Structure 1
Amino acid sequence: MRRERTRATTLMAAAILAGALCLEPGAGLMAGERITPEQALELVREKIATISDHDFVVEEERTMDRTYGWIFFYNTKAYLSSGDPSDIMPGTAPIIVLHDGSVVPMPSSMPPQAAILRFEEMLENPDMRPEDWK
């Protein structure tokens, strides 16, 4: 029971960290089941398709594999094709997909590495509250 409550608390804190964008629950998996990296990539593609009218593409080569899931980065198709900084879309924050299929968008209000660090701190300390963040 405590473990379940702790996980729920961690996921709720992640949603708060993500600027209340939304924590999308796992993909209806049974307890202990895990999604594959390919399924995680598809979840991110579905998520970025709903963010705006921009033509976003996942930067697959930047994907980070972690013990809890994967961290995905994305940007506009134009930027990834041209490399021209004027094609960059500001505010494209990383998206984390947990092994259970939960999608956790990171906030764009802080540097990506800082957002990832805060998320990982919350995983290590499930009782951490937003006011405890440094």
Structure 2
Amino acid sequence: MKNKSWKPWILLSPSLAAVFFLLVIPVCFVIVYSFWLRAPSGADIPAFQFGNYAKFFADFFYPSILLTTIRVALETVFLCLIMGYIPAYFFYKTESKFKPFLMIIVMLPFWISFIIRTLSWINIL
């Protein structure tokens, strides 16, 4: 019997490549640039120094913005979990003949921008 453990990786490779090229590499660039020096002219000078981090933690302005951002992100995640769990649980438990119609009602707001763009082309023509 052949070893078929490579098949899931082949199927996942397009999405993993997208995550790697669109998320991991840009974050690595930001981390590298965070150690560089900023010249008074605005140019970035390649150097390994912690001056940017010292400036970040020395001033209370930046950490307060970071804490506010993290708080808003956590509140948004919690709200999305609650708002998403309730319909998901309802759809899982119900055995109604209206289940496809209810699913369309839930998905319809995601289609609105596409529908508006499509209809705007009709008005232009």
Q: TM-score by structure 1 length?
A: 0.24
Which structure is higher in helix share?
2
Higher relative contact order (CA 8 A, sep 6+): 1
The structure with more strand, counted as a fraction of residues: 1
